[in-house]
């Protein structure tokens, strides 16, 4: 146990030097010096100040981040859907029937309009066809290989390079102040785990996400965990607080999201007896990223935006608050 404590002490002492440094080096250097950045910094300074009435003990500094449209982009489709589409094409030879069977036919013909006409049910079918039927290790390898080879249609970059530089800095800044950072995403937990530790510095046991059912079997004396084509848990909307309670076991003090799918998580965090911080990312930059909110099919931000404005939550205006969007755009 004493190791844990000395570790915390050392973090604390390092923190002091970090705070000193930060007078020269800005921990949020990709953020413009706007009220948004100031609100984040003043919250963190206050709740980490042992002299302050708002002080939060380290063990309660839980920070949760949505992923799609919040840590990386989600347009023109959720990146996990691009993955599913690429997998359908890669698997088509083993499934000649897909040439004539919808929604597979639409995917193979790049007919997004027809695919979307099948709605959530159609999406779910191609997700299940591509995310189940293999071991967890095989799926992990498939995701890693896709990230190496696939390119985003607009930016021609690997999908996991389309992460937000200012949010990477925010994650580091919170961790430097002894917040424990978690991802709480509607995306697949096993779709995120293969890459999030390297990209976000978040370990695989600090990810809450949607999942398919799995089963433990022993085949030819080999223990295996197989992915089944059945939904286990949907970590979205009211599912996010449920997932946080199940996986993390503590109410966050800091929550960051970008859509109405994060509204329940932000409301839940706002009910913390410790001073809490709710952060919404508003996509306002059609030139450098995308601009969308109330009417968007993906990442719709409507009632959440009204509630944020009425209740003093912090809303990032991507265009005004961020100097750069992606790491590869840094000078």
β-partners of residue 257 are 280
Stretch that binds its own copies, among 83-91, 111-119, 215-223, 279-287 (CB under 8 A): 215-223
Q: Does 270 bind its own copies (CB under 8 A)?
A: yes
207 binding its own copies? (CB under 8 A): yes
Inter-CA distances, 191 with 35, 127, 185, 284, Å: 35, 11, 11, 27
Closest separation between CB of residue 42 and its own copies, Å? 21
Which residue is listed with tokens 């002080």? 55
Residue numbers 76-135 binding its own copies by CB under 8 A: none
Contacting residue, 205, 219, 220, 331, with its own copies by CB under 8 A = 205
What does the alpha-carbon distance between residue 264 and residue 240 come to, in Å, rounded to a whole number?
7
List, as own/partner pairs, every contact residues 282-285 make where C-beta atoms lie below 8 angstroms and the sequence separation is at least 24, other chains included.
Answer: 282/258, 282/315, 282/316, 282/317, 282/318, 283/69, 283/258, 283/318, 284/317, 284/318, 284/319, 284/320, 285/318, 285/319, 285/322, 285/325
The interface region with its own copies, picked from 48-56, 126-134, 141-149, 196-204 by CB under 8 A, is: 196-204
**CB of 205 vs its own copies, minimal distance in Å:** 5
The contact mask relative to its own copies for 227-246 (x = CB under 8 A, - = no) is -----x-----xxxxx--xx
C-beta of 20 vs 218, nearer to its own copies: 218
- Is residue 256 within the footprint of its own copies (CB under 8 A)? no
Chosen residue from 113, 222, 287, 312 binding its own copies by CB under 8 A: 222
Q: Is 169 buried (19+), middle (13-18) or exposed (0-12) by CB count in 10 A?
A: middle
Comparison of 309 and 311: residue with beta carbon closer to its own copies: 311
Q: Angle 303-311/263-270 helices, nearest 10 degrees? A: 20
- The reply to whether 57 sits near its own copies by the rule CB under 8 A is no
Q: Which of 112, 132 has the CB closer to its own copies?
A: 132
* Among the listed residues 81, 95, 255, the one whose alpha carbon sits nearest the alpha carbon of residue 153: 81
Which among 45-53, 169-177, 290-298, 319-327 is the span making contact with its own copies, rule CB under 8 A?
Answer: 169-177
Among 47, 56, 176, 318, binds its own copies (CB under 8 A): 176
CB 182 within 8 A of CB 62: yes
If one asks whether residue 216 binds its own copies (CB under 8 A), the answer comes out as yes
Rounded to the nearest whole angstrom, what is the least distance from the CB of residue 80 to its own copies in the complex?
A: 17
> Alpha-carbon distance 293 to 253, whole Å?
25
Nearest residue (CB) to its own copies, 35 versus 201: 201
Q: Which residues share a beta bridge with 223?
A: 218
Closest by CA position to 276, among listed 288, 265, 284: 265
- CB closer to its own copies, 118 vs 247: 247
Contacts (Cβ under 8 Å, ≥6 apart) of 1: none
Binding site for its own copies (CB under 8 A): 1, 3-4, 6-7, 10-11, 14-15, 18, 59, 136, 172, 175-176, 180, 189-190, 193, 201, 203-207, 211, 214-218, 222-223, 225, 232, 238-242, 245-250, 264, 267-268, 270-271
């Amino acid at each position: 146990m004493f190791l844990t404590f000395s570790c915390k002490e050392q973090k604390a002492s390092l923190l002091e030097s970090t705070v000193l440094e930060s007078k020269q080096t800005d921990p949020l250097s990709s953020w413009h010096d706007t009220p948004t950045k100031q609100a984040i910094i003043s919250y963190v300074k206050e709740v980490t100040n042992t002299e302050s009435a708002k002080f939060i003990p380290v063990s309660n500094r839980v920070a949760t981040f949505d992923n799609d449209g919040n840590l990386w982009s989600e347009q023109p489709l959720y990146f996990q859907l691009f993955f599913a589409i690429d997998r359908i094409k890669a698997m088509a030879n083993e499934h000649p029937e897909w040439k004539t069977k919808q929604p597979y036919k639409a995917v193979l013909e790049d007919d997004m309009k027809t695919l979307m006409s099948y709605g959530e049910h159609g999406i779910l079918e191609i997700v299940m066809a591509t995310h189940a039927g293999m071991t967890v290790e095989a799926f992990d390898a498939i995701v890693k290989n896709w990230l190496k080879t696939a390119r985003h249609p607009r930016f021609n970059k690997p999908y996991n390079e389309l992460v937000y530089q200012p949010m990477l800095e925010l994650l580091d800044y919170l961790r430097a102040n002894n917040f424990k950072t978690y991802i709480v995403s509607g995306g697949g937990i096993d779709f995120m785990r293969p890459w999030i530790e390297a990209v976000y510095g978040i370990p695989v046991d600090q990810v809450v996400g949607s999942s398919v059912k799995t089963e433990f079997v022993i085949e030819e004396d080999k223990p295996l965990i197989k992915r089944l084509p059945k939904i286990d848990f949907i970590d979205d909307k009211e599912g996010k607080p449920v997932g946080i309670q199940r996986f993390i076991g503590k109410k966050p003090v800091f929550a960051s999201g970008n859509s109405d799918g994060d509204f329940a998580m932000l409301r839940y965090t706002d009910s913390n007896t410790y001073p809490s911080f709710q952060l919404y990312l508003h996509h306002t930059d059609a030139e450098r990223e995308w601009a969308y909110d109330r009417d968007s099919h993906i990442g719709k931000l409507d009632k959440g935006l009204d509630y944020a404005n009425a209740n003093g939550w912090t809303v990032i205006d991507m265009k005004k608050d961020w100097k750069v969007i992606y790491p590869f755009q840094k000078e």
